[in-house]
Every structure is written in C-alpha cells, then in structure tokens.
A and B are shown apart, each in its own frame.
Chain A
Amino acid sequence: MTVRAEPIRWEASLQQAQARIAQEDKPILLDFSAAPL
C-alpha cells in the first residue's frame, strides 16, 4: 500500500482548533515542540 506524504495541516491557534473540533469528532493534538523553553 502506498502511503501519501501529504503534510500535516497544523492549526495556528487554540480557537481555530476548537472551531474544527466542533465539526470533527476528534481530539486536539497540542504540540509544544515549536521552540525550546
């Protein structure tokens, strides 16, 4: 089976992610790896 290499469509804000969640029955994946603390 060929796996498509389509990139992840990251949301840029919690508000945007919550708006998508209202339409999709999925959890949010919060990634805090963008910058080291």
Chain B
Amino acid sequence: MDTVTYPDPRVAQLVRQHFVPLKVNVKQDPRLAEDYLVSWTPAVLVADEKGKVHYRCEGYFAPEPFMAQLSLGLGRYWLNRRQFAPARERFEEVAQRHAGSEAGAEALYWLGVVSYKESQDPALLRPSWQQLVQEYPNSAWARRAQVPAQNQ
C-alpha cells in the first residue's frame, strides 16, 4: 500500500480531503490492533471520534479500487450519521466511476438505502435496487436486493 497505492496522487488527495489518517504499526502498537480486531494486514478502517468502526477493508488494493473502498467507507460513515446528502454523493460517485465493479454494485445497494432512510418510503429502495439487479445480476449485492414480495 505504501509503495504504490498511497503515493498515487488521486488517493493522496482523497485521503487528505476527507479523512484524518492514522498509520498504525501493529508491531509497535499491538493493543490498537487488538482493540480494532485487526488480525491481518493490510487492513484499513474508517472510524469516528468515539472509535466506532463504520467500514473496513482487508487485503491489498491498487489505487483505483482503493479509491472506491474509501468512498464507500465515507458513504457508510455519513449514512450512519444520518447525513444523507454527503452519503448519497459518495455512493453516486462510486456507482458512476466504478461502474461494472463489485464496488459499483455495493454503491447501488447503499444508494437505495439512503433513498429509503431519507424519505422513510420503502418504494424508494426500488429504483437503485432494480438498477443493481439489472446491471449486476451475478453480484452478491444484487442477491441481497432481491427481497421476497412478502418482506417488502
């Protein structure tokens, strides 16, 4: 991550603009790894001021897919804080920029959730979820969006 992904100017700009970044050396600070249930590296977590984790991704990511992960993490962070406008902005950005990838599918799933949470209208889940099922029929996220009629 330090040799390719973080030095990428697009990644660096995204991190600088949207996060307070903390580098943890798990050998020097094993307690923090324990506290955050990190048993494998690389691991990247998005957390709030109370230490609550809103998103995590494990394994190596090249710059472009890592930017998608960061944006999904931001979207989940803002969604959990009920800040729907910035959450929507992040998910829409991933859905468009990373269309065709698993991150794009995940973004459509959460876009539906944002629309529902914002409006409290279950019908507003459907546009994004229908798009998800149509465009990503083999995605794990599409399977999660295919709610049986009796549960709707």
Contact = CB atoms under 8 A, between A and B. Distances in A.
A29 B41 contact: no
Interface stretch (B18-26, B112-120, B130-138, B141-149): B18-26
Interface string A1-37: 0011111111111101110111010111111111111
Residue from the set A13, A14, A24, A34 with the largest chain B CB neighbour count within 10 Å: A34
B84 to A, nearest CB: 15
Given A27-B77, A32-B33, A10 B41 contact: no
Main secondary structure of the interface of A (DSSP, over half): loop
A11 B25 CA distance: 12
Interface string B67-102: 000100110010000000000000000000000000
B78 to A, nearest CB: 9
A14 B46 contact: no
Contact of B26 (A12, A20, A24, A34): A34
Contacts, number: 125
Contact of A17 (B2, B22, B39): B22
Given A10-B23, A36-B41, A37-B39, A29 B70 contact: yes
Can you list the 10 inter-chain pairs with the closest CB atoms, starting with the nearest? Answer: A33-B42, A29-B19, A34-B25, A10-B23, A17-B22, A32-B43, A5-B9, A30-B45, A33-B1, A3-B9
Interface of B: 1-2, 6-7, 9-10, 12-13, 15-16, 18-28, 32-33, 36, 38-49, 54, 70, 73-74, 77
Interface of A: 3-14, 16-18, 20-22, 24, 26-37
11 contacts: A3-B13, A6-B13, A10-B21, A10-B22, A16-B22, A26-B20, A31-B42, A32-B43, A33-B44, A34-B23, A34-B25
